[in-house]
Amino acid sequence: MRFKAVVCLALAFALAFTGPGVSAYADDTNTQTSTETTTDSTEVTTSTSDSTQTTVTSDDETTTESTEDSADSSDTKKKKKVRKGYVKKAAGTKLYAKASKSSKVKGTLKFNKKIKYVVVNKKWAYVTSGTRKGYVLRSALSKKKAKSKTVKVSGNVKNFKSYMSYKAFSSGSTQAKLQKKAKTGKYGIRTVNGRYCIAVGYGVGASIGQYVDVVLANGTVIECIVADYKGSNKFVSSNGCASEFVVSMSKLKYAVRMSGNINSCKSSWNSKVKKFKVYKTKVSL
């Protein structure tokens, strides 16, 4: 009996400390559930963190795209107007690879050449002339074509254009000074800034180094520069010539030497001189 009483007391004591309706296993279960809940909560947080990170990354990409779009938009806004103009500088205008005089020279542009350009800054412009592109000093450009006066040729003009040697000019003369700036170009004709050197009559009203265009009856225009005068002739020499070309005899085209006529240089030149277009532009000597 005593043993049963002791056992009963022990059980009662145990029940009193454990609490009603709760077992040691239940405690373990609650603990596990709590742990799992915490873990799940942590995973959710991590997941939220990942989501945030993804969102941030996405935002970064959006921001980048937005920045790029903004840059494009800015570029579009900054897209400068393409203008039309002309080369006004008398000397061959240099076309540079970059907006710097120290950069490579890609070539030259002729006087009064029609071009398209975009202003880069106060000093430079980006120019397009046919297939040629590059940077040019803005001081060499003009919005308007150079003005010229037209002088019609009178007298007994023939379909003949004579020539003379550039070595015929006296040393120290204005003509000789111009030849120091000249070089022997196509067909053996002397040129300055791409323009053919010619002698004209006083009726043309142009001085040495001044730009003139020789306009033929067939519509052909020959870009020239006055290199000499044709004596006392107003327009036409006794041989019917209104424009005498200055050449290098040793480099002169063979066909010209045979015919004695500059017309043999090019078929389109085989026409009478009808008029001159005289520009104010001239080369300084």
Q: Which amino acid is at 243?
A: S
Question: Are residues 105 and 230 both part of a single domain?
Answer: no
Look at residue 104 in the predicted model and tell me its pLDDT.
95
Residues 170 and 138 in one domain: no
153 with 226, same domain: the answer is yes
Alpha-carbon distance 111 to 274, whole Å? 22
Q: How far is CA 284 from the centre of its chain?
A: 28
The tens place of each residue's pLDDT in the chain, 285 residues long, gives 555 554 445 555 554 544 444 444 344 444 444 444 444 433 433 334 444 443 333 333 333 333 333 333 344 345 789 999 999 877 778 999 999 999 999 998 888 889 999 999 999 999 999 999 999 999 999 999 998 999 999 999 999 999 999 999 999 999 999 999 999 999 999 999 889 999 999 999 999 999 999 999 999 999 999 999 987 789 999 899 999 999 999 999 999 999 999 999 999 999 999 999 999 999 988
Give the other-Cβ count within 10 Å of 124's Cβ.
20
- The last residue of a domain, from among 142, 158, 191: 142
pLDDT at 10: 53
Establish if 29 belongs to a structural domain. no
Report DSSP letters for 154-183, one per residue.
Answer: -S---S---EEEGGGSPTTSHHHHHHHH-E
Contact criterion met (CB below 8 Å) for 230 and 199? yes
102 and 221 together in one domain? no
Burial of 25 per CB tally in 10 Å (0-12, 13-18, 19+): exposed
Residues 6+ apart with CB under 8 A from 107: 94, 95, 132, 134
Q: What is the pLDDT of residue 90?
A: 72
Which tokens in the block code for residue 254?
Answer: 């063979």
pTM score: 0.65
pLDDT, residue 115, reads 94
63 by DSSP, 3-state: which?
Answer: helix
Shared-domain flag, residues 156 and 272: yes
254 near 188, Cβ under 8 Å? Answer: no
Same domain, 193 and 229: yes
**34 in any annotated domain:** no
User: Are 197 and 91 contained in the same domain?
Assistant: no
Task: Assess whether 154 and 277 both reside in one domain.
Answer: yes
Tell whether 188 and 251 lie within a shared domain. yes
Q: Are residues 138 and 227 in the same domain?
A: no
Tell whether 160 and 271 lie within a shared domain.
yes
pLDDT of residue 110: 85
Final residue in a domain of this structure, among 108, 142, 176: 142
Domain of residue 107 covers 83-142
Count the domains in the chain. Answer: 2
Give the end-to-end CA distance of the chain in Å, rounded to a whole number. 145
User: Looking at the domain assignment, is residue 252 inside a domain?
Assistant: yes
Q: What is the pLDDT of residue 85?
A: 95
